[in-house]
């Protein structure tokens, strides 16, 4: 067998790149990361004839500047990995803009084949493209294809094979106007003579990038040869001044305009003929007339988002229940087949609960990503961003932030884990971090039983109103926190919004399943290991050190006494002893000691040590707050679904009153996200820094609010 | 006149872009270059961003980005 051919797929977003990639590789693909950044690296393989081919799907970009991570990743890959062929997917129905990227591949001098995609759509729109002329004018093969059906893909692969053996291709030199061309003519020889990065880039390209004021290339040049680099940059500045005074424009703008000039000149040479009126309304525009209408649009959007939400959280329930039942069964088997001891306790409370916790989210994540893939692939998600941007932009976020917020519990009952993962559709780095740090403020499904418990204990008269207020408060706090973050740690200009509304398309089932599966699998793989570790750690904190032997003996003696007395309610008394022992053990554990130790601070917010332990436990999963409170109030096992005894107990406890309840409610809603979310934040942000930040920032924010509520409430005499 | 001031269903030709840097490049990459014909096709519920037709595709941009795009109005359709 021959060495595999390395192909890189490159092209604009929405040009059908991923569709082609899925068509070529099918299930033989996997997702990784480019080193140091959170951009997905999709790789796949196929065999054509007896020729093995490796494909990398580069991130979709409109350009190859140094302004976005995706573009840097794409161009670094092309330069460092030197794929045998770059397959440039070009949307035939939007040739002009797509060829802008093609121009930059020509400048970079990479071996290239153009896959002219969606020729069927173009033809329907009355656009005929003469591929032969286009090919000879650009000096590269142009193959018409329809990626959705696979038409023309065979010819494309043949063309790829014929290009691959490193053959010299016709060099097309772009012109950028006399000023820039002259400057290039003086600096390119200097770059060549001094061997400045000539092992990596063509000299003319390096020169062009210096004139474009490209930070990455200028830094590299400076590192290689400082004095020469300075000389080149000075030349660039001279040119900038000249262009500023004569045409009032920056070199990069002039260069871009000339690329378009080049494209227009090509299209005019008989490459493209239009048979219909260009202003005709296409189906997509007709749909948009209704769907993005200023009045009807938001209503339709609300309906669709509500639909996605109920689809995700209702239809995944049966799988969640199955998984719960399965893990309960495993727990039981372990419980009955192993002898009592720390190993058994760790297996049940640490490992099985931990793994169950990770896998318990899988159905929700799968359904949510399926729903989002439908919205994304059909083109609707871009419309949501368009309609919501005005509001979210005000808070320093982006129109696309709405989806993560909704999924996380913007409609009470979501989950922050898929919410954090849904921020992946956001391409603006600062807005994205701000979104993923604030979505955990939403009222997720696990917080609901805790909120219900406290509300029913103290505000049972206005239960519905309080639940509604909790949702409004969550939105308010999240958006204001986002604004605060964007004004402080995430300060900076907002990323340009300018965005394409792609034509509506029917998503392909294959694409949907691949997208859903790859994201779900990433979650299982990445989250699994870390979460298991933290789960065991939390278990250990709530278990160790156990009660000293004399205390255990005391409880045992009491049990024996009760059994010996054989009174009619001995069973009940035994349960009470068990509960009391559990409470004492919890109090004695590391978590308990932390809870007691924290009382000196937490008293300002009105929390006693029992609440503190429950809040520490809530870091494992928010619903654990209920069961831990149960143990701390020695009520034995409390089922989060039915908490009447616990809420009655809280209502008459002297340490609790409505002001404390309100303060605890605020804290639970806004303090550190559960650790599964924290792990998800670390993975999505690409660094643990933001994960730790979210734990610290949220806890401080929540505590400040609680102290405020408790102190003011007590002062006003509501306590 | 700039793009922000255009009314719905008005078409125009871009006469100049008064911005450099990353936003300037971004706008150009999306095809917003002098000489190109555009038509405003609508606005979001809160009047921002604006939606326009260019080269047979639909683009959206915020009003404060549209400010940098000078246009010559051509006419109004429908």
Are A41 and A125 contained in the same domain? yes
Range of the domain at B32: 3-76
Handedness of CA A545, A549, A551, A554 (dihedral sign): positive
**Partner A contacted by B75 (CB < 8 A):** no
pLDDT of residue A377: 86
Would residue A691 count as lying in a domain? no
Residue with tokens 């409470």: A583
pLDDT score of A20: 94
Asked if residue B26 lies in contact with residue A496, where contact means CB atoms within 8 angstroms, the answer is yes
Q: In degrees rounded to 5, what are phi and psi of residue A309?
A: -65, -50
Q: Is the confidence at residue A191, as pLDDT, over 70?
A: yes
Write the pLDDT tens digit of every residue in A97-131.
Answer: 999 999 999 999 999 999 999 999 888 888 899 99
Residues belonging to chain A with any Cβ–Cβ distance to chain B shorter than 8 Å = 62-63, 65, 67, 93-94, 96-97, 100, 125, 127, 249-250, 252-253, 256-257, 260, 278-279, 284-285, 288-289, 292-295, 297-298, 382, 386-387, 389-391, 393, 399, 496-501, 503
CB contact under 8 A, A257 and B59: no
ipTM over 0.90: yes
Q: B77 touching A, CB under 8 A? A: yes
Residue whose C-alpha is closest to residue B25's, from B65, B70, B78: B65
Do A670 and A477 touch, CB atoms closer than 8 A? yes
Q: Which residue has the tokens 């394409």?
A: A500
User: Which CATH number is B56's domain given?
Assistant: 2.30.30.90
pTM: 0.83
User: Using 50, 70 and 90 to split pLDDT, how confident is the model at A574?
Assistant: confident
Into how many domains does chain B fold? 1
For the cut 80, the answer to whether the pLDDT of residue A638 exceeds it is no
Co-location of A27 and A85 in the same domain:
yes
A169: confidence class by pLDDT, cuts 50, 70, 90: low
Contact A472, A444 (CB under 8 A): no
Do A62 and B30 count as a contact with CB atoms less than 8 A apart?
Answer: yes
Judge if the upstream peptide bond of residue B29 is cis by omega within 30 degrees of 0. no
Window 10-69 of B: residues touching A by CB (8 A cutoff) are 11, 17, 20-34, 39, 41-49, 51, 53, 55-62, 65
Evaluate whether residue A246 is within a structural domain.
yes
Range in A179-183, A313-317, A504-508 the model is least confident about = A313-317
What confidence score (pLDDT) does residue A452 get?
85
CB A255 within 8 Å of CB A176? yes
Residue A351 lies inside a defined structural domain of this protein: yes
Give the pLDDT confidence score for residue A247 in this predicted structure.
86
Any domain includes A150: yes
Q: Do residue A369 and residue A481 come from a single domain?
A: yes
* A contacts of B17 (beta carbons < 8 Å): 253
Residue A156 sits at the vertex; the CA angle it makes with A154 and A158, to the nearest 5 degrees, is: 75
User: Residue ranges of the alpha helices (H) in A292-428?
Assistant: 296-315, 317-337, 342-345, 353-360, 362-378, 380-394, 402-405, 416-422
Is A190 a member of any domain?
yes
Mean pLDDT confidence for A490-513: 88
Q: Which pairing describes strands A5-11 and A29-33: parallel, antiparallel, or unpaired?
A: unpaired
Q: For residue A245, tell me if it sits in a domain.
A: yes
Q: Is residue A594 part of a domain?
A: no
Tell whether A137 and A217 lie within a shared domain: no
Q: Which region, left, alpha or beta, applies to residue A470 given φ > 0 means left and ψ of -120 to 50 means alpha?
A: alpha
Same domain? For A115 and A90 the reply is yes
Domain boundary among A208, A243, A274: A274
One domain for residues A144 and A44: yes
Q: What does residue A231 show for φ and ψ, rounded to 5 degrees? A: -60, -45
State the smallest CA–CA distance between residue A346 and chain B in angstroms.
Answer: 54
How do residues A657-682 score in pLDDT, each as one tens digit? 999 999 999 999 999 999 889 999 99
Q: Choosing among B13, B20, B51, B60, which should be mutated to test the A contact, i.e. which has the most A CBs within 10 A?
A: B60
Same domain, A398 and A475: yes
Predicted pLDDT of residue A249 = 86
Give how far A221 is from chain B: nearest CA, Å. Answer: 21
Is the torsion defined by CA of A647, A649, A652, A656 positive or negative?
Answer: negative
Last residue of a domain, one of A480, A508, A536: A508
Q: A353: how many CB neighbours lie within 10 A of its CB?
A: 20
pLDDT for the residue numbered A273? 86
Position A171 scores a pLDDT of 67
DSSP secondary structure letter of residue A643: -
Give me the pLDDT at residue B77, please.
63
Q: What is the overall mean pLDDT for chain A? A: 88
Cis peptide before B75 (omega within 30 of 0): no
Q: What token pair was written down for A339? A: 């002898």
Cβ-based neighbour number of residue A171 at 10 Å: 10
* A500 to chain B, closest Cα gap in Å: 4
Residue A479 and residue A342 share a domain: yes
Residues A358 and A504 in one domain: yes
Helices (H) and strands (E) in chain A, counts: 33, 10
- Please report, for the domain that includes residue A194, its CATH number: 1.10.287.1770
Cα–Cα distance for residue pair A585/A608, rounded to 1 Å: 17
The answer to whether residue A678 is domain-embedded is no
CATH number for the domain spanning A143: value is 3.40.50.300
Higher pLDDT, A599 or A641: A599
Close Cβ partners of A394 (under 8 Å, ≥ 6 residues apart): A483
Confidence of residue A165 (pLDDT cuts 50, 70, 90): low
In percent, how much of chain A has pLDDT > 90?
47
Number of domains in chain A: 3
- A482 and A356 fall within a common domain: yes
What are the beta bridge partners of residue A277? Answer: none
Cβ contact A96–B55 (<8 Å): yes
B chain contacts of residue A100, beta-carbon cutoff 8 Å = 29, 31
Could you give phi then psi for residue A97, rounded to 5 degrees? -70, -35
> Both A350 and A481 in a single domain?
yes
Distances (CA, A) of A387 to A393, A425, A454: 11, 16, 37
User: Is pLDDT at A90 greater than 70 in this prediction?
Assistant: yes
List pLDDT tens digits, range A585-600: 888 889 889 989 999 9
The answer, yes or no, to whether residue A411 has pLDDT greater than 60, is yes
Q: Which of A583, A528, A542, A627 is nearest to A342 (CA)?
A: A542
State how far the Cα of A140 lies from the Cα of A163, in Å rounded to an integer. 9
Residue A127: other Cβ atoms inside 10 A: 21
Same domain, A158 and A230: no
How deeply is B36 buried, as exposed, middle or buried, from its count of CB atoms within 10 A (0-12, 13-18, 19+)? middle
A167, with CB counted inside 10 A (0-12, 13-18, 19+), is: exposed
For residue A376, name the pLDDT band (cuts at 50, 70, 90).
confident
**Contact between residue A159 and residue A166 where contact means Cβ atoms under 8 Å apart:** no
Domain that holds residue A80: 5-163
- Residue A408 confidence (pLDDT) above 60: yes
């Amino acid at each position: 067998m021959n060495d595999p051919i390395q192909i890189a797929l490159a092209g604009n977003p929405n040009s059908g790149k991923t569709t082609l990639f899925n068509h070529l590789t099918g299930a033989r693909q996997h997702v990784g990361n480019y080193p140091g950044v959170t951009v997905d690296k999709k790789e796949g393989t196929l065999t054509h004839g007896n020729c093995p081919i490796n494909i990398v799907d580069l991130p979709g970009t409109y350009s190859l500047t140094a302004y976005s991570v995706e573009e840097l990743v794409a161009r670094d890959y092309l330069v460092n990995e030197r794929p045998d062929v770059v397959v440039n997917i070009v949307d035939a129905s939007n040739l002009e803009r797509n060829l802008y990227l093609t121009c930059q591949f020509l400048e970079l001098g990479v071996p290239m084949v153009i896959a002219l995609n969606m020729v069927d759509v173009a033809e329907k729109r009355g656009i005929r493209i003469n591929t032969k002329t286009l090919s000879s004018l650009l000096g590269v093969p142009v193959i018409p294809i329809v990626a959705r059906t696979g038409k023309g893909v065979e010819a494309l692969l043949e063309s790829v094979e014929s290009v691959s053996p490193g053959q010299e291709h016709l060099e097309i030199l772009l012109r950028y106007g006399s000023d820039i061309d002259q400057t290039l003519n003086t600096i390119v020889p200097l770059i060549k003579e001094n061997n400045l990065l000539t092992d990596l880039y063509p000299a003319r390209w390096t020169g062009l990038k210096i004139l474009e004021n490209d930070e990455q290339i200028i830094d590299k040049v400076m590192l290689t040869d400082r004095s020469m680099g300075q000389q080149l940059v000075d030349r660039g500045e001279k040119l900038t001044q000249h262009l500023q005074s004569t045409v009032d424009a920056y070199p990069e703008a002039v260069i871009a305009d000339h690329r378009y000039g080049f494209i227009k000149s090509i299209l005019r040479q008989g490459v493209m003929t239009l048979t219909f009126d260009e202003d005709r309304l296409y189906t997509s525009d007709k749909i948009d007339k209704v769907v993005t209408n200023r009045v009807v649009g938001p209503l339709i959007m609300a309906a669709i988002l509500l639909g996605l939400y109920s689809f995700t959280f209702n239809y995944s329930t049966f799988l969640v229940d199955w998984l719960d039942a399965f893990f309960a069964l495993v727990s039981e088997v372990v419980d009955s087949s192993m002898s009592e001891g720390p190993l058994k306790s760790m297996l049940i409370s640490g490992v099985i609960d931990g793994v169950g916790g990770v896998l318990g989210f899988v159905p929700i994540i799968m359904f949510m990503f399926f729903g989002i893939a439908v919205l994304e692939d059909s083109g609707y998600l871009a419309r949501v961003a368009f309609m919501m941007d005005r509001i979210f932009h005000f808070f320093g976020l982006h129109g696309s932030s709405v989806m993560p917020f909704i999924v996380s519990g913007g409609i009470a009952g979501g989950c922050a884990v898929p919410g954090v993962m849904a921020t992946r559709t956001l391409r603006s780095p600062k807005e994205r971090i701000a979104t993923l740090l604030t979505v955990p403020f939403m009222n997720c499904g696990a917080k609901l039983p805790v909120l219900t418990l406290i509300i029913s204990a103290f505000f049972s008269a206005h239960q519905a109103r309080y639940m509604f207020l909790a949702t409004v408060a969550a939105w308010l706090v999240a958006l204001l926190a986002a604004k605060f973050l964007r004004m402080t740690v995430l300060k900076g200009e907002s990323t340009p919004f300018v965005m394409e509304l792609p034509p509506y398309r029917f998503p392909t089932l294959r694409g949907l399943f691949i997208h859903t599966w790859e994201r779900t699998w990433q979650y299982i793989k990445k989250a699994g290991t870390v979460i298991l570790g933290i789960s065991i750690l939390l278990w250990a904190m709530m278990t160790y050190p156990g009660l000293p032997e004399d205390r255990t003996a005391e409880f045992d003696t009491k049990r024996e006494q009760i059994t010996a007395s054989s009174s009619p309610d001995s069973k009940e008394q035994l349960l009470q002893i068990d509960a009391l022992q559990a409470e004492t053990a919890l109090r004695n554990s590391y978590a308990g000691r932390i809870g007691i130790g924290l009382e000196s601070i937490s008293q300002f917010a009105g929390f006693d040590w029992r609440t503190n332990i429950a809040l520490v436990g809530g870091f494992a999963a928010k619903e654990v707050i209920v069961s831990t409170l149960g143990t701390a109030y020695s009520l034995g096992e409390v089922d989060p679904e039915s908490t009447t005894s616990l809420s009655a107990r809280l209502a008459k406890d002297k340490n609790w009153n409505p002001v404390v309840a309100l303060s605890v409610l605020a804290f639970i809603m806004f303090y550190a996200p559960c650790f599964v979310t924290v792990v998800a934040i670390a993975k999505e942000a690409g660094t643990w820094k933001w994960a730790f930040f979210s734990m610290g920032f949220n806890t401080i924010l929540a505590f400040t609010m609680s102290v405020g509520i408790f102190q003011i409430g007590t002062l006003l005499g509501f306590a | 006149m700039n793009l922000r001031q255009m009314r719905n269903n008005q078409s125009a030709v871009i006469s100049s872009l008064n911005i450099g840097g990353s936003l300037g490049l971004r706008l150009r990459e999306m095809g917003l270059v002098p000489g190109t014909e555009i038509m405003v096709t609508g606005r979001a519920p809160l009047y921002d961003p604006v939606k326009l037709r260019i080269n047979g595709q639909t683009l959206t941009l915020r009003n404060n980005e549209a400010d940098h795009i000078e246009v010559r109005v051509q006419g109004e359709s429908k």
